[in-house]
């Protein structure tokens, strides 16, 4: 026991010195890192955040044994840009995961996208190799599906999962089903070798992903430090769960998926304890963006008290559930009001490994170790982008909207609604409204639902505007946008003949190659 206590104290010293930029030689093996990234899970989906059915006992216990972050944000209100931000520590406007095809348009990586994560970006698993980490991604990649964008070409040692989400089933004539990979080669396709019953919601994918995680942890437990990125997509519509969980939730099919994820997290944490590596494994749980209210009520989660959902830069689209767990290091039962970002997981993971972020580029992620280990709060802004447009900025408790927009009147009249039942006059607009000269400012502590903008004439408004304007001006003056990766689409680059399709007899013939501008529907 004395040796364990001594090692823990030594590692705490190392982390404090690392956070201060000081190196330490002869340090013990750095901790394993397990990042659990959900898909479209809302801030209000966990019992610890107030979800009334209390169907997430394992995640609630994880929070009770670790630290809860109520003020944690994605880097984008859409899946793939936020995932690119997590793995690079950089805003999508910097790493290229945006479009310039239309003002303030969100963009992502559907099958027909030509672009993906550029070689110039340094991803977290690439950098962790310097500290001896072995890395695996399980689940959705979503950073480009063409061969040059394969995760094993960007630092991961193993992969089991898919390049895109489980949309479909498709007809394999106009659009092929999404492949599932093991490492370099596909092992089947969704709805074919990996069935998902769209009528009942039954699929065994979460169980498969869980077993992949347990096997990897067992293999690596006594070898190298490991980085496991568990990126399951069961809560992304069409939501799914395995048969033992179907029909067990008070929240419908979406709740079934959440219950299975909760059970899976519990099994992973239990294994860490059984292998006696829990005190040397840092675990973080969060989501890539807010709940997709367009799929409500049966196939969408809850964003709690916050406005709107996925696709928007209101709080419901960007604020995420976030839990940190590291027994013996993070004190139990802590709540940190640190303003956090999904990009902080990049910088914090490097600090855990005793590494420093690349110095040849702007890094937006903050090292959270002072907040995690010492309870410190660090002042920082959070920038809310849609496409190449800065929509809003939060600093402290104040949030300024420079542009407001949910989705177009055309889409809205077709039944596409990102804010069902939440119309706020002059705020949830269906035309892109310019507030750059006189931003709408909300105090999120008093008004988390963004319903009551501050009076333009008030002293509070003037003071908040001055502070935020200064921060935004500094940000924009230093900003060097990356080459946009999500501008060009081409049906010929879809998943017609992925590596390994020959062995399975699953190769399909692509159509004629016709590159064209991507026309995003939302």
Cite the annotated binding site for Ca(2+) by residue number.
Answer: 39-40, 79, 288-289
- Contact yes or no for 516/488 (Cβ under 8 A): yes
Identify the H or E element spanning 281: strand 281-287
Q: What is the 3-state secondary structure (H, E, C) of 2-36?
A: HHHHHHHHHHHHHHHHHHCCCCCCCCCCCCEEEEE
Distance from the Cα of residue 306 to its chain's centroid: 18
> Up-side HSE of residue 121: CA atoms within 13 Å toward CB?
33
With tokens 């007899």, the residue in question is 505
Active site residue 142: yes
Beta bridge partners of 162: 140
Among residues 142, 150, 154, 398, the one annotated as catalytic is 142
- Contact yes or no for 234/206 (Cβ under 8 A): yes
**Token representation of residue 289:** 């963006």
Distance from the Cα of residue 265 to its chain's centroid: 17
Active site residue 166: no
- Contact yes or no for 355/367 (Cβ under 8 A): no
Q: Cα angle vertex 264, ends 258, 265, to 5°?
A: 90
Q: Which of 244, 242, 140, 249 is nearest to 195 (CA)?
A: 242
Provide Rg for the chain, Cα atoms: 22
Main-chain dihedrals φ then ψ at residue 220, nearest 5 degrees:
-95, -10
- Contact yes or no for 308/428 (Cβ under 8 A): yes
Instruction: Give dist(CA 503, CA 435) in Å, integer.
Output: 56
Instruction: Give dist(CA 438, CA 75) in Å, integer.
Output: 24
Q: In the β-sheet with 67-68, what is the strand arrangement from edge to edge?
A: 185-189, 179-182, 158-162, 134-140, 226-231, 32-38, 281-287, 323-325, 67-68, 334-335
Residues making up the binding site: 39-40, 79, 288-289
Among residues 79, 165, 308, 419, the one annotated as catalytic is 79
Distance from the Cα of residue 272 to its chain's centroid: 23
Query: Strand ranges (DSSP E) for 141-276?
Result: 158-162, 179-182, 185-189, 226-231
Residues with catalytic annotation? 79, 142
């Amino acid at each position: 026991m004395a040796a364990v206590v001594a090692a823990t104290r030594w590692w705490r010293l190392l982390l404090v010195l690392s956070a201060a930029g000081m190196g330490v030689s002869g340090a013990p093996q750095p901790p394993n890192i397990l990042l659990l990234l959900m898909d479209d899970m809302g801030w209000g989906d966990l019992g610890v955040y107030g979800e009334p059915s209390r169907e997430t006992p394992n995640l609630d216990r994880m929070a009770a044994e670790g630290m809860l972050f109520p003020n944690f944000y994605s880097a984008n209100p859409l899946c793939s840009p936020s995932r690119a931000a997590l793995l690079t520590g950089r805003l999508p406007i910097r790493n290229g995961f945006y479009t310039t095809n239309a003002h303030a348009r969100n963009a992502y990586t559907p099958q027909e996208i030509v672009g993906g994560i550029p070689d110039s970006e340094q991803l977290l698993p690439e950098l962790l190799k310097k500290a001896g980490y072995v890395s695996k991604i399980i689940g959705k990649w979503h950073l480009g599906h063409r061969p040059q964008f394969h995760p094993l070409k960007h630092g991961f040692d193993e992969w089991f999962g898919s390049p895109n989400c489980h949309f479909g089933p498709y007809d394999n004539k106009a659009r092929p089903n999404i492949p599932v990979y093991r490492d370099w080669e596909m092992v089947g396709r969704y709805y074919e070798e990996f069935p998902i019953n769209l009528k009942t919601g039954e699929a065994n994918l979460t169980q498969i992903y869980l077993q992949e995680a347990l096997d990897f942890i067992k293999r690596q437990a006594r070898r190298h430090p490991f980085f496991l990125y568990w990126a399951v997509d069961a809560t992304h519509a069409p939501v799914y769960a395995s048969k033992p969980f179907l029909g067990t939730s008070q929240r419908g099919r979406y709740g079934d998926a959440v219950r299975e994820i909760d059970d899976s997290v519990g099994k992973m944490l239990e294994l860490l304890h059984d292998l006696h590596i829990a005190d040397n494994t840092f675990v973080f749980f969060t989501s890539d963006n807010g709940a997709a209210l367009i799929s409500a009520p049966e196939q969408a989660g809850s964003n709690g008290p916050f406005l709107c959902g996925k696709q928007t830069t209101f709080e419901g689209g960007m604020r995420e559930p976030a839990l940190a767990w590291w027994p013996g290091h993070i004190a139990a039962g802590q709540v940190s009001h640190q303003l956090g970002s999904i990009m902080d997981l990049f910088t914090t993971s490097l600090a855990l490994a005793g590494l420093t972020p690349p110095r040849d580029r702007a890094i937006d992620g903050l090292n959270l170790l002072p907040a995690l280990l010492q309870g410190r709060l660090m002042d920082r802004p959070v920038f809310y982008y849609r496409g190449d447009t800065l929509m809003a900025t939060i600093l402290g408790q104040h949030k300024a909207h420079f542009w407001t927009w949910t989705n177009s009147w055309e889409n809205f009249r077709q039944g596409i609604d990102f804010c069902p039942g939440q119309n706020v006059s002059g705020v949830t607009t269906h035309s892109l409204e310019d507030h750059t000269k006189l931003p709408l400012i909300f105090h999120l502590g008093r008004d988390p639902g963004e319903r009551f903008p501050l009076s333009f004439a008030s002293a509070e408004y003037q003071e908040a505007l001055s502070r935020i304007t200064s921060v935004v001006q500094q940000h924009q003056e230093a900003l060097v946008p990356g080459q946009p990766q999500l501008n060009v689409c081409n049906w010929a680059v879809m998943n017609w003949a992925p590596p390994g399709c020959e062995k399975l007899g699953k190769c399909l013939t692509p159509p004629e190659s016709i590159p064209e501008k991507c026309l995003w529907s939302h």
